[in-house]
Amino acid sequence: MSDRFPLRPDDIWYAAMRGRYGDAVPDIDALQFRCGLQVHVGDMFEKLHALGLIDNVNILSVVTRNAGFVVIDARLADCLPEIDRAALEFALAGVRGDLSESCEHCGRPGEIVAKTGMEALLDDPDAALGDRFLCAECYNDWSHRDV
């Protein structure tokens, strides 16, 4: 049984992001987060665009490391004025907070760390191991999935 919530954004969402923000959006292989976090990553690009600073930051990747722990690898341009650097760092810090507090499946506030251990492979050899940060509703749906 394949994972309904792979550690990869939706292809349609990705195409729309590339269409709107172009090369500012990293390659899809550098984006490793579940679909519930897409709204927050999209908000990040919108904030950077609205600030007029999207061309002054190079987002290399957005990667979920553990439940509630998402890393944004962003490189700021060297020649930025201090006020622009502060605005970029503030915007990125806000998005990091949103990503770490949100359900990986739906984007609402997360509440529960759900774990999938090696025993899951007995029922499904293709099960995605690891942990996820979920809201109560998504946890209930996901933990009662058919395996």
List pLDDT tens digits, range 109-141: 999 988 776 665 556 666 566 788 999 999 998
| pTM, 2 dp | 0.85
Number of helical H runs and strand E runs in the chain? 5, 5
Q: CA–CA separation, 27 vs 8, rounded Å?
A: 11
Nearest to 61 by CA among 105, 110, 109, 9: 9
Q: Which element (helix H / strand E) includes 58? A: strand 57-66
Please name the residues in contact with 141: beta carbons below 8 A apart, sequence gap of 6 or more. Answer: 105
The confidence score (pLDDT) of residue 123 equals 66
H-type alpha helices, 24-101:
38-50, 82-100
